[in-house]
């Protein structure tokens, strides 16, 4: 399928916004990824690769934007991961003009329904950044009468950081709500998606909680447009 001069394969879904008017050497892909409500997501990653090899992983900035330049022309595949949004895959051709992607990501088709089991995954890292063997947690969250879910677990003695995500009954991954402090961020692990990163103290009781209002509504479809950047008008 051809959209705005860029060739797309079925199933493409990534969002990017405006492109700067400046041309750069080589091929370029850029845009601003939006969440389901039109606002930048808490965090997101664009993972792009040329079909003949060469991957690029770019974190979205605070405005949800990204840019890659000086790329080889040709076919590229793309994987977009955004906090609490559906991951999307796509492919397109990049030529002499930048490819600009615009749209919104969709959400989990089913969401987290009352009464259904939801599981939390927790992995721990030590002070040097290495994963701690045999310390992973895979537990069902406790649901209260008002629909809130909680997890309580003891932090291992060697741990300095906890990586956390939750999985809905349909297998969709959510992140525990994270704040803006340095102790709570999001990490992208290649092949494992986005995790909430939280600074912890050895031996502490880690208590996490979220409710329906902390997650985006379910069943929202994505929108997408992909086009080549228009050259500047001649005066």
Across the chain, which has 235 residues, the per-10-residue mean pLDDT values are 31 30 63 90 90 88 91 89 88 88 87 89 94 92 91 93 89 73 73 87 90 87 79 67
Q: What is the pTM of this model?
A: 0.76
CB 19 within 8 A of CB 29: no
The structure tokens 């961020």 sit at 185
- The reported pLDDT for the residue numbered 16 is 33
- The reported pLDDT for the residue numbered 13 is 28
- The reported pLDDT for the residue numbered 212 is 83
């Amino acid at each position: 399928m051809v959209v705005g001069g860029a060739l797309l394969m079925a199933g493409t879904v990534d969002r990017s916004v405006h492109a700067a008017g400046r041309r750069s050497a080589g091929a370029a892909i850029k845009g601003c990824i939006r969440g389901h409500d039109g606002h930048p997501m808490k965090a997101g990653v664009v993972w792009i690769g040329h079909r003949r090899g060469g991957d690029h992983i770019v974190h979205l900035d605070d405005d949800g934007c990204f840019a890659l330049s000086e790329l080889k022309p040709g076919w590229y595949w793309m994987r977009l991961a955004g906090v609490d949004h559906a991951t999307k895959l796509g492919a397109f051709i990049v030529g002499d003009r930048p490819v600009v992607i615009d749209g919104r990501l969709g959400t989990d088709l089913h969401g987290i329904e009352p009464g259904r089991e939801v599981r939390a995954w927790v992995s721990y890292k030590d002070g040097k950044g290495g994963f701690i063997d045999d310390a992973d947690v895979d537990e069902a969250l406790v649901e209260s009468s008002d629909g809130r879910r909680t997890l309580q677990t003891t932090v291992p003695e060697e741990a300095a950081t906890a990586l956390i995500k939750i999985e809905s009954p349909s297998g969709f991954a959510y992140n525990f709500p994270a704040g803006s402090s340095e102790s709570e961020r999001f990490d992208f692990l290649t092949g494992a998606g986005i995790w909430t990163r939280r600074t912890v103290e050895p031996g502490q009781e880690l208590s996490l909680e979220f409710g329906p209002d902390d997650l985006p509504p379910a069943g929202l479809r994505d929108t997408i447009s992909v086009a080549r950047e228009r050259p500047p008008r001649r005066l």
